[in-house]
Amino acid sequence: MYAQDPTAGCYMYYFQYLTKTYCVDATNETGRLGRLINHSKNGNCQTKLHDINGIPHLILVASRDIEKNEELLYDYGDRSKASLEAHPWLKH
């Protein structure tokens, strides 16, 4: 639904944990600050999956030293045709 509406935005992050695929939907406003980090295929952060008491948790870690006032960026990983057509910025 989001992928086909360029006015809504599309901020989905898919990951696998054990035998299931999960999706974090950061399209709508919440109190979680990770949703405010922008996309870049060559970002300075990356996601890491950690199991805490059998529950998957995603954390962002720096992939290199980050300068003061530098924007935090990570790869959202969405390469679906519909998303790329509606949100060409995902290509970069």
**Residue 20: which CATH number?**
2.170.270.10
3-state SS track over 31-88: CCHHHHCEECCCCCEEEEEEEECCEEEEEEEECCCCCCCCCCEECCCCCCHHHHHHCH
> Tens of pLDDT along the chain (92 residues)?
766 776 776 677 788 888 888 888 777 777 776 767 878 888 899 989 999 998 898 888 999 999 999 999 888 776 677 767 776 766 76
* Domain hosting residue 59, numbered range: 2-91
Q: How far apart are CA 39 and CA 73, in angstroms?
A: 5
Contact by Cβ (8 Å): 56, 17? yes
| Model confidence, pTM | 0.65
Instruction: Give me the pLDDT at residue 44, please.
Output: 93
- Number of domains forming the structure of the chain: 1
The strand pairing partners of 69, in sequence order, are none
